[in-house]
Amino acid sequence: AAPAYVGDDLDHAREQCRWFGGMVGNHVADLVARYGEHSGMVPDELTAYIASREGYDYAHHGRSGNPDAGFVSDAVIDRFCLLGPVAAHIEKLRRLKDLGVDQFALYAMHDAKESTIDAYGAEIIPAFAD
């Protein structure tokens, strides 16, 4: 499960979904605390992204526009979320399918809820009708 934002303005989509990286950062921090920063159990890309995570306020947890998600880079958002035009969503979902994912739930907690859900119903889900 992750945020999906269908649209061409990637900068705007990233800002709308940055909250998710903040929320996931808490889980990554828990994994790093449990397994260690350089144990090989948590990818270096993930331990690096939480290095500047400080003062996370759970009052904003899981909310679009979370002011405590400034530590989340665009690269992390691109990794965790589905962003861009319809073709980009289909491509990423196909990559996930090839890795063994057989279910996906999306969060539509942003300013393009209806258009994103409409795009999934009209174009993205039908692409996987096989």
Q: Per residue in 99-116, pLDDT tens? A: 999 999 999 999 999 999
Confidence (pTM): 0.85
Output the pLDDT for position 11: 96
Tell me the residue range of the domain where 51 lies: 2-128
Rg (CA), the chain: 15
Number of structural domains the chain divides into: 1
DSSP string over 65-106: T-TT-TT--HHHHHHHSEEESHHHHHHHHHHHHHTT-----E
Phi, psi of 114 (to 5 degrees): -65, -45
Which are the contacts of 74, defined by CB distance < 8 A and separation ≥ 6? 14
Span 49-68, pLDDT tens digits: 777 777 766 666 666 777 76
Rounded to whole angstroms, the Cα distance separating 103 from 95 reads 13
Per-state percent for the chain, helix, strand, coil, to nearest 5 = 55, 10, 40
